[in-house]
């Protein structure tokens, strides 16, 4: 009996690591094809093929949005690659290979990740992708170093009982301040969005003392920044499946995950979303069913009267999207939002000559409902933008780390353009309560004045004493 027990123990001991390794999804030989159906018949054929082989649509998200004349990007598993190409040739459907081997890009992105165990703000590399444990530690250090303008808060918890945390960044004020809210990482595989949130925090903290616009903004506005909303999914994309998109809540006892950007209570699951939990656009069992969604909704509802702008960061396609995705009708504030966004993309292009497009989601991307951007507009937030960062399809969700910096630099330039507009149109001039002694130089000047006054008083007292001594 003992020998049998030891045999079982040894088998478990030596086989367990192999089973863990074998769980990790790989993409050897998978290819991403760019396909444009030229006829209605071809689009229907592609829809059926995608459903039948359960292909991973990168663009658009939903099979129903494959139609004549629209370019689609699809990841084809290695086992289907040859069959796929033969079928496309037989149907005279033009295609192009954009990624020859998805696993090579995955290996490159993982190789260029930060391997540092101990996080230090002095050496933190914002041009690399960081795993969640490093982001948690980075947040703690940012909060500690910049406690005069940064506070860290708990947004909520995930299904796997991890913390979702956010920053509140702003200078103290006696008045009620406006709010600009930004979330990143709602889709797990979109790593560049998470990298941008960190870059944004770094830049505004480095610039606000010397930059007049940012200094004024931080006196009148509080930034609420959520570096990673979908924490469970983001971690899973590092450990098990690089191209995982959803969260990790179990569904129906057979599958995992809800597309959080289909889970908000705005025309929930009406279009561009799926009721099948095996689909990447699965909208969940009900509107706002997910802990992550509930947490964001609570934060927004708490500050709703003061939220002036909502920004949600995604990839890829190089777009700034306006509401709505569920209808071709424009949102109430469409014209003003479009004007601001077009000025922003013009500023963006000046940085690295990247071309971004502006428009409603349903017009320039695809149909969708239950998205956070549409929900924010629907509840009355004046400016609600969905950013689709780099690139346009050469790398897709596998954007190389060497593109993090240019992506972040140009995106920040576009946002600063938006902030300039908000400052001019909605904030107005600072009053005495806003413009109190926040700058370091102000404190130095006040100290110098106090010391000078002290010396003058001492000299006057000394002169009086001498005068009194002489006349006596």
Rounded Cα–Cα distance for residues 321 and 342 (Å):
11
Rounded Cα–Cα distance for residues 5 and 7 (Å):
5
Q: Find all residues with CB under 8 Å of 445, minimum gap 6, and list them.
A: none
Preceding amide of 391 cis, omega within 30: yes
Rounded Cα–Cα distance for residues 456 and 462 (Å):
10
From the number of C-beta atoms within 10 Å of its C-beta (0-12, 13-18, 19+), residue 40 rates as exposed
Distance set, CA 426 to CA 181, 214, 308, 383, 418 (Å): 16, 15, 9, 12, 12
Q: How many CA atoms lie within 13 A of 326 on its CB side?
A: 20
Which entry of 165, 388, 392, 410 is annotated as an active-site residue? 388
- Please, are residues 230 and 260 in contact by the beta-carbon 8 Å criterion? yes
CA 51, 57, 59, 60 dihedral sign is: positive
Q: Are strands 72-76 and 31-35 parallel, antiparallel or unpaired?
A: antiparallel
Report residue 5 as tokens.
């027990």
Q: Where are the beta strands (DSSP E) in 141-186?
A: 150-157, 163-169, 178-183
Establish whether 388 is a catalytic residue. Answer: yes
Rounded Cα–Cα distance for residues 98 and 393 (Å):
7
The number of beta carbons lying within 10 Å of the beta carbon of residue 128 is 17
Q: Nearest-5° angle of CA 324, CA 373, CA 204? A: 135
Rounded Cα–Cα distance for residues 350 and 256 (Å):
42
**Of residues 397, 115, 411, 130, the one with CA closest to residue 280:** 397
From the number of C-beta atoms within 10 Å of its C-beta (0-12, 13-18, 19+), residue 1 rates as exposed
| Strand arrangement of the beta sheet that strand 383-389 belongs to | 150-157, 163-169, 221-226, 178-183, 307-315, 383-389, 319-322, 357-360
Site of tokens 């948690």: 136
**Of residues 417, 463, 7, 446, the one with CA closest to residue 213:** 417
Active-site residues, by number, are 388
């Amino acid at each position: 009996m003992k020998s049998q027990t030891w045999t079982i123990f040894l088998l478990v001991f030596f086989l367990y690591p192999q089973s863990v390794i074998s769980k990790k999804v790989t993409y050897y030989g998978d290819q991403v094809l760019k396909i444009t159906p030229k006829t209605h018949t071809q689009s229907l054929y592609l829809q059926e093929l995608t459903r039948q082989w359960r292909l991973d649509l990168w663009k658009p998200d939903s099979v129903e949005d494959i139609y004549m004349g629209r370019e689609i990007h699809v990841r084809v598993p290695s086992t289907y690659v040859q069959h796929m190409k033969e079928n496309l040739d037989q149907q005279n459907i033009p295609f192009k290979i954009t990624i020859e081997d998805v696993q090579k890009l995955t290996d490159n992105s993982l190789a260029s990740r930060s391997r540092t165990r101990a996080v230090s703000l002095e050496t933190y590399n914002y041009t690399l992708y960081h795993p969640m444990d490093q982001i948690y530690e980075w947040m703690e250090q940012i909060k500690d170093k910049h406690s005069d303008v940064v506070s860290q808060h708990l947004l909520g918890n995930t299904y796997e009982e991890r913390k979702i945390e956010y920053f509140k960044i702003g200078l103290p004020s006696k008045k009620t301040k406006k709010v600009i809210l930004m979330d990143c990482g709602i889709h797990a595989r979109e790593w560049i969005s998470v990298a941008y949130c960190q870059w944004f925090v770094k830049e505004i903290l480095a610039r606000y003392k010397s930059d007049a616009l940012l200094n004024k903004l931080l006196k009148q506005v509080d930034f609420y920044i959520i570096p990673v909303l979908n924490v469970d999914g983001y971690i899973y994309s590092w450990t098990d499946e690089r191209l995982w998109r959803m969260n990790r809540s179990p569904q129906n006892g057979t599958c995992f995950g809800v597309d959080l950007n289909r889970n908000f209570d705005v025309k929930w699951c009406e279009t561009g979303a799926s009721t099948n939990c095996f689909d990447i656009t699965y909208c969940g069992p009900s509107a706002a069913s997910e802990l992550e969604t509930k947490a964001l909704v609570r934060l927004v509802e708490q500050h709703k009267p003061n939220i002036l702008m909502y920004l949600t960061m995604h990839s890829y396609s190089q777009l700034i999207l306006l509401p709505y995705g569920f209808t071709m009708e424009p949102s109430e504030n469409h014209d003003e939002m479009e004007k601001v966004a077009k000025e922003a993309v013009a500023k963006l292009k000046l940085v690295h000559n990247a071309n971004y497009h502006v428009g409603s989601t349903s017009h320039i991307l695809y149909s969708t409902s239950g998205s956070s951007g549409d929900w924010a507009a629907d509840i009355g937030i004046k400016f609600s933008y969905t950013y689709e960062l780099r690139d346009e399809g050469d790398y897709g969700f596998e954007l190389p780390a060497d593109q993090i910096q240019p992506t972040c630099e140009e995106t920040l330039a576009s946002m600063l353009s938006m902030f300039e507009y908000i400052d001019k149109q909605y904030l107005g001039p600072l009053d005495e309560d806003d413009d109190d002694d926040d700058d370091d130089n102000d404190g130095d000047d006040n100290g110098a004045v106090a010391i000078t006054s002290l010396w003058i008083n001492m000299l006057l007292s000394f002169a009086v004493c001498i005068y009194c001594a002489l006349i006596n």
